[in-house]
Amino acid sequence: MAHSNIVAKPSKPYPGFPLFPHATRRWAKKIRGKHHYFGPWDCWQAALDKYQEQRDDLHAGRIPRTKADVLTVRDLCNRFLTAKENQQDAGDITPRTFADYLATCKLIVDSFGKNRLVDDLAAEDFEQLRASLAKTRNPNTLGNEVQRIRTTFKYAYDAGLIEHPIRFGPTFKRPAKRILRAVRQKKGPRMFEAHEVRRIIEAADQPLKAMIFLGINCGFGNSDCGTLPKQALDLKRGWVDYPRPKTAVERRCPLWRETITALEEALHERPNPEEADDDGLVFVTKYGQPWNKATADNPVTKEMRKLLDNLKLHRLGLGFYALRHTFETIAGASRDQVAVNHIMGHADASMAGVYRERISDDRLQDVTTFVHHWLFAEE
C-alpha cells in the first residue's frame, strides 16, 4: 500500500540541468566522490544559482568562500557544517555529533534569521535565545545546546570569517553545577537494581536481549552495541575487544556464558543487511538497517523505552544507558577501579595510566564475576 506522504521525484527543469533530485528532497550533485546539496526541489533556480556560485571551489576541492564582504548567519552555518562534515568523514567526530551540530545550526538560523549579519549579533540576542531555550529544555540539555552554539560562533573567529570574537554576554553559559546536581538528585539514581535487570532480560526479545547482556556484562552503551563488529567477538574464548567508538580508548571484557548464548542466538536470527557495508555488524534491525543512527531516538533507545514502559520500569531519566551506570556502580565495589575503567573504556590521564602497558585478564575476569554474582546471586 502506498503512503500518502511519499512525493514523486521531480524531473529536471530542462535538458542539461546539472543537478539531480536527491531522496532528501533537495537538488544535489556528486562532486569528487561526495554529494553536495543546493536547495529544495521546489526552488530549482535558487539551487542552480548556489551551485554555479560554488562549483569552482567544490570541483577544486576547496570549501566555498563567502562571496559577500559580510558574513550572514546562513553563511556561517554552511561553512561550519562543511568543516564538521569533513571531520565526520575523517572519523574525528561521530555521525551523532554531526547530527547534533546540524540541529543546532538549524536552531541558530531559525532564531536569528538566515540573512542576519553575524557581526550585528550582540549579547542581548544571546540572552534572549538562552531564555527561550530554558523554557523547553532541562538544564543538562540546555547546557549542551549553549555549548554547541558557542562552538559554532567561535569557529567564525578562529576561521578568520570575522575580525573580532562574538560577545555572548555574561549569562550565555551552561547552568551552574549546583543546578545540575539538584536535577540529578531529583531524578534519583540512574541505575537498575538486580531484580529489575533480571526482569528486563527475561522480557526482552532478540537482539535487544543480547545488547542488554552487553550493557550489564561489559558496560556497553547504545552506540557500542549499534556499531559492534563481528570481528570484535571471540565467542569461543568468551571475550570482546572493541575500543569505544566515542573515544577510541582500548577496551576488553570477558563475557558471561549467558551473554555468549544471547549473542549466538542474536547472530543466528540476524536479518540480512540492506547495505553490504553493514554485513560486518553484529546487530541489524529487522529492516536490514544498522542499530546505530545519528538521532536522539535511535533504535536501541526506542526499543528499550518500549520494553521499560511495558514493565513499568521507565523511571525519569532511565533508559538503556542506565545499564552502563549500573555496571560502573556495582563493578566499583570490586575494589579494582583500574580494571573497571579498562572494561568501561575510560581514559586514564594519570601518570600511572601513561606508564601502564596492560592489565591482566584475571583482573578483568574478577570484575565481571563480581557483577555476575550481584545480578544472579539471589536466584
Domain positions in the chain are: 63-184, 194-376
Q: How many CB atoms lie within 10 A of CB 39?
A: 18
E strands along 66-152, which residues? Answer: none
Residue 226 has pLDDT above 80, yes or no: yes
Residue with cell 531524578: 187
pLDDT digits (tens, 9 = 90+) for 173-206: 998 888 777 766 666 677 899 999 999 999 999 9
Sign of the C-alpha dihedral computed for residues 301, 302, 307 and 313 taken in this order: positive
Give the mean model confidence (pLDDT) for residues 108-129. 92
**Beta pairing class for 233-234 and 239-241:** antiparallel
Give the mean model confidence (pLDDT) for residues 122-142. 92
Residue 1 has pLDDT above 50, yes or no: no
Query: What is the pLDDT at residue 140?
Result: 87
Q: What residues are paired with 29 via a beta bridge?
A: 36
| 3-class secondary-structure state, position 237 | coil
Q: What DSSP state is assigned to residue 40?
A: E
Query: What is the pLDDT at residue 308?
Result: 93
Give the integer Cα–Cα distance in Å for 208 and 2. Answer: 30
**Lowest model confidence (mean pLDDT) among 31-35, 156-160, 184-188, 211-215:** 184-188
CATH class of 63-184: mainly alpha
More confident of the two residues 108 and 352: 108
In this structure, whether the domain defined by 194-376 belongs to CATH 1.10.443.10 is answered with yes
